[in-house]
Every structure is written in C-alpha cells, then in structure tokens.
Structure 1
Amino acid sequence: MRIVRTIGVVAAIFCALASGAMAQTVQAGFNDEDITWVDFQNGLERARSECKPVFVLFHTDWCPHCKRYRAAFKEPSIVELSKDFVFVIVDRDHEEAINDRYAPEGGYVPRSVMLNGAGVLQTQISGPRTDYKYFLDPDNYRELEGFLTRAKAEFDPAHCDFKPV
C-alpha cells in the first residue's frame, strides 16, 4: 500500500511540474511549431535568466493585419533569428495594462517592440516608418527580419542588455 501511495504522490508531483512548464509557453498562432512563444511575465524572467532580448508582439484575434502577419513567422530566417530572443505574445484586448505600458504611439496592432530583461522599451529599435514606428508591414517579412537583425546587433550579451544609445 505504501508503494502505491508513493507512486501516486510522485505522479502528482510530476503532473504539477509538467503543467507548470506547459503554462510557460503560449499557443500564439504565429508558427508555434517552430517558435516558442511565452507570456509577458515568463518572457521577462526567461530573458534575464538566458541573457536574451525580448521581442514582444501585440495583436488581437480580430485584426486582419495580425492574421496576415502570421506568415512572416514561418520564414526560415525569422525562425532562425527567433532563437536569439525570447518571443512574447500579448493580446492587446485581454492584457490592457501591458498594452498601455508599451504603446508610446497608441495601441495599434500589430505592434512589434523590443525590450531588455528589465522590461525597458528599446525605442532605438523600430520599423522603417516615421509614424507608427512599431508597425512592421505584415506582408513583407524582410521588415521583421531587419528589425530582429538590428536588435541582435544592438544587444550586448556581455552585459545582458542593449548597448547605450
């Protein structure tokens, strides 16, 4: 009887640990098969522990531009670059406080921003537009590729932070 009880306790602990690990990843719908997406809080924690910059994508379920943007994340160059970042997904309509904190030009979507592990917005890394700086063309994955490449070049892994502006 003691063995059965021990196995039950071990199984319960294993299930609890497994469900906790699963809770850290998010099914984002932006190439979840090849890119690991996490929620905001876990993203900051991972960025600090793994010494990586944080790419945050703000989206909504109803946004047609967001739906088109999904294709960019299937590009092999984006999948490869994603390994150098912590990818975070934020639903603007369900995580309003986070959205408001990182909406210097308003809460438009899709919006792609770069943070350090402390959650500081890296305003020097933006898209090619002078208005809506964090809107990357959803039909042109090269804008996302350039955004990630610039962020990678600006990140100093020796200090786990971006180079001073």
Structure 2
Amino acid sequence: MRKIVLIAFTLFLGFAAQAQEEIKWMKFEDAVAANQENPKMLLVDVYTDWCGWCKKMDALTFKDPSVIDYVNDQFYAVKLNAEDDNRTFDFMGKKYSEAEMAAVMRVRSFPNFVIIDPTLKNITQLPGYREPEQFLEGLGYIVKKGFRGQ
C-alpha cells in the first residue's frame, strides 16, 4: 500500500511540475534591463483585455510545451496591454504608457507580436492568432534569418 501511495505522490509531483512550466513573461522595462546584461531578442505580445483571439493565444498556443521552451530560450517575453494608459515606464529616455508604446510600435490589430532585436530596434510584427506550429514557424524564420536591426 505504501508503494502505491509513493508512486501516486511521485506521479502527482511530476504532473504538477510539468503544469507549472510557462513562458516567463516580463514587464517591458525588465526585459530591456535583462537585454543589457545578456542580449537577446524581445518578443512583445501586444494584447487587449477584450480580444478573444488574444485569450485563445494565452489558453492554447502559449501553453504548448514547444512554444514555452522556444520562447523562453530565444527571447525575453513581454506582455503589453495596448489600452493601458496607467502603467508607465522609461524607454530610451522617454516615459511611455503601455498604450503609448503599442502606438509607437504601430500596432493596430490584436493579438500582435512585435520582435525587437538586441539593439532594441523594431524588426517585424507577427499579427494575428497563430496555432503553436505556425507561431514557432514565424519565430523560427526571424531567429534563423538573424535579424539585427538592419
């Protein structure tokens, strides 16, 4: 009986550890600071609270283990609410709200994923909902291409 309880507990811990794995989302300014210490591309998920496709990305694509591993390995991941005028941060000597930063990045549809290279120049956008495979394909193309703000 004791062995069964021990096996069940071990399995439970394994599932619990696996279920806790997620993308390490950061605030914009924290990703910029981390980039200064260890340069990497930033992946900025620009969303709104009312966007159904944004919620679907969160529920499905961003829960996919392959997406989680790839994003955490290759990028500093940022969540940016395109309608938040309250939270502000400094970037390149100016103060921005999240909404102002989304506008500066020319985001007009949601969800939208802005890739910023390690020199902090916008590179490209991946607009719209994407299944895990499509999302990885789009990100992989950018990483393979080796964009460096050119």
- The gaps in structure 1 that reach 5 residues or longer are 1-30, 127-133, 156-161
Instruction: Determine if contact 1:47/1:116 at 8 Å carries over to the other structure.
Output: no
Alignment match, 1:142: 133
The equivalences for 1:6-155 within 5 A come to: 33-70=21-58, 71-82=60-71, 83-94=73-84, 95-103=98-106, 106-123=107-124, 126=125, 134-138=126-130, 140-155=131-146
Aligned residues: 117
Instruction: Determine if contact 2:42/2:116 at 8 Å carries over to the other structure.
Output: yes
Structure number having the greater strand percentage: 2
Alignment match, 1:15: none
Letter in 1 for 2:105: Y
* Secondary structure of the structure 2 residue equivalent to 1:122: strand
Structure 2 CA distance, aligned partners of 1:164 and 1:43?
17
Structure 2 CA distance, aligned partners of 1:141 and 1:119?
26
Give 1:33 deviation, angstroms: 4.3
Q: Which moved more, 1:49-58 or 1:32-41?
A: 32-41
Letter in 2 for 1:113: V
Q: TM-score, normalised by structure 1?
A: 0.63
Percentage of matched positions with identical amino acids: 21
**What RMSD in Å do the two structures reach over aligned CA positions?**
2.1
Structure 2 CA distance, aligned partners of 1:59 and 1:45?
22
Letter in 2 for 1:87: A
Shift in CA distance, 69/86, structure 1 to aligned 2, threshold 3 Å: same
Shift in CA distance, 96/59, structure 1 to aligned 2, threshold 3 Å: same
Shift in CA distance, 100/115, structure 1 to aligned 2, threshold 3 Å: same
- The gaps in structure 2 that reach 5 residues or longer are 1-18, 85-97
Give 1:119 deviation, angstroms: 2.5
Q: TM-score, normalised by structure 2?
A: 0.69
